Amino acid sequence: MATYDLNDPTDLDIMRGQFNMLTAEEWQEYIDEAESRNLGYKNINILKTAQRKAGIAKYLSPKVINWVLSLVDRLDYDEEE
């Protein structure tokens, strides 16, 4: 998983770009996967928030975007194994 500096404008642009590439349907797949793995109430709710804001990262804080992208990386990594 990539680590991002939340104070670096370039890193923020990269994070927003990665967030905006995911569609609402893709977010739903991550939500379903998180629910099947029992990742916890907070993690599932933040993924649902991400689904509602799909394509419009400017309305989410950098911390939330970082959290969501780390969950996506975690789900993708676990899925590969």
Read off the pLDDT of residues 51-65 as tens digits, 9 standing for 90 and up. Answer: 999 999 999 999 999
Amino acid at 5: D
Residues 6+ positions from 23 with CB-CB distance below 8 Å: 54, 55
Whether the pLDDT of residue 2 is over 80: the answer is no
Residue 1's pLDDT band (cuts 50, 70, 90): low
Domain ranges of the chain: 10-80
Instruction: Render pLDDT for 25-38 as a digit per residue (tens, 0 to 9).
Output: 999 999 999 999 99
Question: 70: number of CA atoms within 13 Å, CB side?
Answer: 11
pTM, full prediction = 0.88
CA angle centred on 42, ends 59 and 1, rounded to 5°: 75
Whether the pLDDT of residue 22 is over 90: the answer is yes
